[in-house]
Amino acid sequence: MSETTSETTSETAYEGTRPLRERAVELDAVDPLAAKRDLFALDDDVVYLDGNSLGALPAHVPARVADVVQRQWGELRIRSWTESGWWTAPERIGDRIAPLVGAAPGQVVVADSTSVNVFKAVVAGVRLASADPRRTDVVVDATTFPTDGYVAESAARLTGHRIVPVDPADPAALRAELGPTTAVVLLNHVDFRSGRLHDLPALTAAVHDAGAVAVWDLCHSAGALPVGLDAHGVDLAVGCTYKYLNGGPGSPAFLYVAERHQAAFDSPLPGWNSHADPFAMSRDYAAVDGARRGRVGTPDILSMLALEAALDVWEGVTIEEVRAKSLALTDFFLRCVAEYAGGASVTSVAQVTPVTPAEHAARGSQVALRCGEAPVVMERLIARGVVGDLRRPDLLRFGFAPLYVSFADAERAASTLAEVLAELRA
């Protein structure tokens, strides 16, 4: 995989003789995305590095949601399904997300939760592969977010298939498991613990070489880096919208169904919203055309329209620009951590060890540091206004959302981390 970096933000030309704090100011001054920060509701005294769990609130969203509640619901009431466009929101918003994941219009629908969409995708993938009775295996990322594993295992039981766990960080091991018995492969684009970016193009090609269906979970990559679903021939994909897409807590997820599979996409959760004639209230199910087959029940309009409003912050931004800044931010943060909390001073502070790959081609938009005192370290960081998160037992996670995280944020987070570590070893 190749990655795009920016001359104005790349740390390859960093002059180590200058203080890192000064360098942060310089990088922020030439950051083409710096103005986007003003679009978010952020406190000046807090460094928010948890957008990989919950994205920050775009400042204009509350007023838009108030309009949905007060006017569209309060005044128009049932008329809003047509007059306010509620009925078409799932595919309309899906088409706004599509460019951020490299999909053409008509292939992304916003509906339900990530977990529900994983179930739809795995079972539908099994059904796509069902023409060959030898295909009895569902290969699953062994390091996956637990829910993906739970759902895949249940889907396998329901369809009479076998679960085969494989670590995608070892491509050779994954390829060794693929073969004529493989039906579906469910993988995470970015590992939620380590921040490792898996090679979607190469692994998708390997899955297809084995004649299987590739399903990708994009929760930690959508809105943070280029995905290229169409370009790389992905079959099905799911993703959440409350992380780097800033849709709000519990905002609905999305489902991608490649155009070539839409006519055969057989959802295990048929509902009236995906019926070809939903208001006929027919007892017999006839699926609607296109990705709308991924709809099930009545859309959750309040959170869905909050998400639609939040996506306005992406106007005028390309995902390549976001990726360039993401890499520069994580490079800079790692440099700051090495200088402030490593090197000659390492014997006087609690140690932190990066587990996120140094190579750009294998790094998402978060940095994970292993630390034996991780719980107390994160507690003290948050108390001092540096908000990351913890993955037990020993991982500190820092998510870098390029639309609102600055280089000054990265430097302050690293310096505060060093202070906390020093205190623990004093």
Residue 284 within any structural domain of the chain: yes
**Last residue within a domain, chosen from 240, 264, 298:** 298
| 3 is a domain residue | no
Same domain, 333 and 418: yes
Provide φ and ψ at 170, rounded to 5°.
-115, 85
Which residue type occupies 290?
Answer: G
| Amino acid symbol at 325 | K
Instruction: Look at 276 and 17; give whichever has higher pLDDT.
Output: 276
- With cut-offs at 50, 70 and 90, classify the pLDDT of residue 16: very low
Tell me if 311 is assigned to some domain.
Answer: no
Q: Are residues 34 and 93 in the same domain?
A: no
pLDDT tens track for 279-294: 999 999 999 999 999 9
Mean pLDDT of 303-328: 98
Q: Does position 264 have pLDDT exceeding 60, yes or no?
A: yes
Give CA angle at 167 (161, 173), nearest 5°. Answer: 90
> Where residue 10 falls among pLDDT bands split at 50, 70, 90?
very low
**Residue after which a domain boundary falls, among 298, 330, 360:** 298
User: Is the confidence at residue 58, as pLDDT, over 50?
Assistant: yes
CA atoms of 98 and 319, how far apart (whole Å): 11
Instruction: Band the pLDDT of 420: cuts 50, 70, 90.
Output: very high
Q: Do 194 and 355 form a contact (C-beta atoms < 8 A)?
A: yes
Beta bridge partners of 254: 110, 239
Q: What is the mean pLDDT of residues 294-309?
A: 98
**What average pLDDT score do residues 199-214 get?**
98
Same-domain pairing of 242 and 187: yes
Q: Are residues 321 and 281 in the same domain?
A: no
Residues 181 and 259 reside in one and the same domain: yes
- Asked if pLDDT for residue 62 goes beyond 50, the answer is yes
Under the banding of pLDDT at 50, 70 and 90, the label for residue 371 is very high
Q: Is the pLDDT of residue 346 over 50?
A: no
What's the pTM? 0.94
Residues 120, 269, single domain; the answer is yes
Residue 69 lies in a domain: no
**Is 236 in the same domain as 328?**
no
Contact 270, 287 (CB under 8 A): yes
Across residues 385-393, what is the average pLDDT?
96
Does residue 5 lie in a domain region?
Answer: no
* Residue 70 lies inside a defined structural domain of this protein: no
pLDDT above 70: residue 18: no
Per residue in 214-227, pLDDT tens?
A: 999 999 999 999 99
Say what the pLDDT of residue 147 is: 95
Q: Is residue 306 part of a domain?
A: no
The pLDDT assigned to 11 comes to: 44
Rounded Cα distance between 360 and 239, Å, is: 22
Confidence band (pLDDT; 50, 70, 90) for 5?
A: very low
The DSSP H or E segment spanning 53 is: none
Mean pLDDT of 274-279: 97
Report whether pLDDT(394) > 60. Answer: yes
Place 350 in a pLDDT band, splitting at 50, 70 and 90: low
Convert the pLDDT of each residue in 119-138 to its tens digit.
Answer: 999 999 999 999 999 999 99
- Shared domain for 239 and 321, answered yes or no, is no
| Tokens 């037992």, residue located | 393
Pair (55, 161) in one structural domain: no
In this structure, what token pair is assigned to residue 231?
A: 């370009």
Distance CA 227, CA 195 (A): 15
Question: Which helix (H) or strand (E) element contains residue 237?
Answer: strand 236-239
Does residue 4 register a pLDDT over 70?
no
Q: Is the pLDDT assigned to residue 60 strictly greater than 80?
A: yes
Q: What is the domain range of residue 391?
A: 11-59+317-425
**DSSP labels, 108-156:** EEE-S-HHHHHHHHHHHHHHHTTTSTT--EEEEETTS-HHHHHHHHHHH
> Which CATH number does the domain housing residue 205 bear?
3.40.640.10
8 Å CB contact between 201 and 228: yes
Same domain, 119 and 229: yes
pLDDT confidence tier of residue 28, bands split at 50, 70 and 90: very high
CATH, residue 339: 3.90.1150.10
* Domain count of the fold of the chain: 2
The tens digit of pLDDT for each residue in 134-161 reads 999 999 999 999 999 999 999 999 999 9
Catalogue the active-site residues: 145, 217, 242-243, 397
Domain end residue (candidates: 271, 298, 325): 298
Average pLDDT, the chain: 94
pLDDT the model gives residue 342:
76
The reply to whether 171 falls in a domain is: yes
Shared domain check, 351 and 271 = no
Per-residue pLDDT, averaged over 60-73, amounts to 98
Asked if pLDDT for residue 174 goes beyond 60, the answer is: yes
Lowest mean pLDDT among 2-16, 87-101, 285-299: 2-16
Task: Let me know if 257 is exposed, middle or buried by CB neighbors in 10 A (0-12, 13-18, 19+).
Answer: buried
pLDDT for 425 equals 81
Please tell me the predicted confidence (pLDDT) of residue 135: 97
- Percent of the chain scoring above 70 in pLDDT: 94
Looking at the structure, tell me whether residues 394 and 322 fall in a common domain. yes
